[in-house]
Copies of this chain bind each other. A is one copy, B any other.
Amino acid sequence: MFTPTQKEVGAPPTCLSPASVQNLDGNKDGLGRDCLRKPEQKLPECYGVGDPGAMFFSGSSQLSSRGRVIKWFWDSAEEGYRTYHMDEYDEEKNPSGIINLGTSENKLCFDLLSRRLSQSDMLRVEPALLQYPDWRGHLFLREEVAKFLSFYCKSPATLKPENVVVLNGCASLFSALATVLCEVGEAFLIPAPYYGAITQHVYLYGNVRLVCVYLDSEVTGMDKRPFQLTVEKLETALEGARAEGVKVKGLILINPHNPLGDVYSPGELQAFLEFAKRHELHVMVDEVYMLSVFEASVGYRSVLSLERLPDPQRTHVMWATSKDFGMSGLRFGTLYTENQDVATAVASLCRYHGLSGLVQYQMAQLLQDHEWISQVYLPENHARLKAAHTYISGELEALGIPFLSRGAGFFIWVDLRQYLPEGTFAEELLLWRRFLDNKVLLLSGKAFECQEPGWFRLVFSDKPHRLRLGMQRIRQVLEGISQVAKDAPSCHTQEPGDQRR
């Protein structure tokens, strides 16, 4: 999501961090509009309507104007990653290279995955797999997906293959759903901070915008935890967007949440779904981290486990193997929806999001192997995630850095506001670049549309030696900064001790 303020239009930013704009100067007025309030009230900005098209820059290119926007997104995401890819850390070949704690990938279980995917049942070549498929996905795969989701989401009734569409990842699914549910320029609500790439997923092809429901770290009023989403905040953002003439068609929920590592309780989930039903909003529930809950006490519940969906025709569930099976390069995602019009329209777009018949066969083999998943993969994966999380959270505690994390996902949402003397996004960007200069790649809060400068997402799902080195380098940067921001207003984030429940 990008600011529609004039100063950003017409001149390309000179410095951009991965996944989002990082060159803002700390003037937050452009980032969203204050919600309905009396003039003298000082309330945080509570929503903002995105306008990625405002990033358009003219140039001598032979591309269309939207082609230039599309290319701009690519170029703007490059600084961090280009630097990283030119100088990737390798224990033997490049020990002084950059450690990537920015990309949300699970690098802890390649040994398990490699063994399973190399088994002889994985390579099957038969004519049907090499011919044009059913664009919804081969029936044998959709049957396995339905069984898999029924079991691992603990659905009250068995899920049905005809409600399943498979495609090459959830990025494609966001693109397809945005296009078939919205007209050009319409919008989805999304609580922010959020995984920033969704901005592009709904916009690049679909021309759909996001209306941010801004959450903040202060625990006041009804909020029991930092960055808490409530129905009231959804109502306010919806009302504000509508007052501005923005037609909102749906709500995106990420559960477990990226980047907060938070999960919604069944009661919250139900309340958000009821809110959506009241306003006839579609709900896209992104559950790509559903099997990456490594603390059982978190009590995660998939939306598919609810006894009754308030509006099943407008509830669309997304899952993929990228995160839960640590295979973002495999490109497998799936939609579950009872709405056959939506399933068919998405399937029609699957001509452009199809995956190989050979991979469809492999995924069916993997997903049907409940014994390996439940007895081998998940216990070991969760143990490794937990160990990595314990190590990183211990290090952060030792540094006196507050953070959020509840035992789900691959990342910790870290509060580095004490290192920004003025509390601006310019300082956040500076800190981000200091980390990169000291050979560790993180993502800063701006990439997630966080409204408070100073938050960073730190990915911990990596091998111990890389985590150790990454933390050493982070420590060096932070210790090198004079802590002029020590007197900044206190924040109500959870204490480190809370994180390891």
Q: What residues make up the interface of A, taking CB atoms closer than 8 Å to B?
A: 61-68, 70-71, 73-75, 103, 105, 107, 110, 113-114, 117-118, 122-123, 125-133, 168-169, 171-172, 175, 179-184, 186, 197, 200-201, 204-205, 249, 282, 313-314, 326-332, 339, 341-342, 344-345, 347-349, 351-359, 362
Contacts and interface: CB of A to CB of B under 8 A. Distances in A.
B344 A71 contact: yes
Copy number in the complex reads 2
29 contacts: A62-B342, A63-B342, A63-B345, A65-B183, A66-B183, A67-B341, A67-B342, A68-B345, A70-B349, A71-B341, A71-B345, A74-B348, A105-B131, A110-B130, A114-B125, A122-B123, A128-B329, A129-B329, A130-B329, A132-B329, A201-B352, A204-B348, A204-B351, A205-B205, A330-B358, A331-B356, A352-B353, A353-B353, A356-B359
Contact of A67 (B62, B132, B179): B179
Nearest to A327: B130
Given A200-B351, A352-B175, A130 B63 contact: no
A345 B67 contact: yes
A274 to B, nearest CB: 18
B200 A71 contact: no
Contacts of A61: 341
Contacts of A105: 131-132
A101 to B, nearest CB: 14
Contact of A359 (B117, B200, B353, B359): B359
A181 B63 contact: yes
Given A74-B347, A127-B110, A358-B362, A64 B181 contact: yes
A19 to B, nearest CB: 12
Nearest to A77: B348
B205 A353 contact: no
Contacts of A107: 127, 131
Contacts of A130: 110, 113, 326-330
Given A68-B345, A358-B358, 18 more contacts: A62-B339, A63-B341, A63-B345, A65-B183, A67-B341, A70-B345, A107-B127, A113-B125, A114-B125, A130-B327, A130-B328, A168-B168, A171-B352, A172-B351, A172-B352, A201-B351, A356-B356, A358-B359
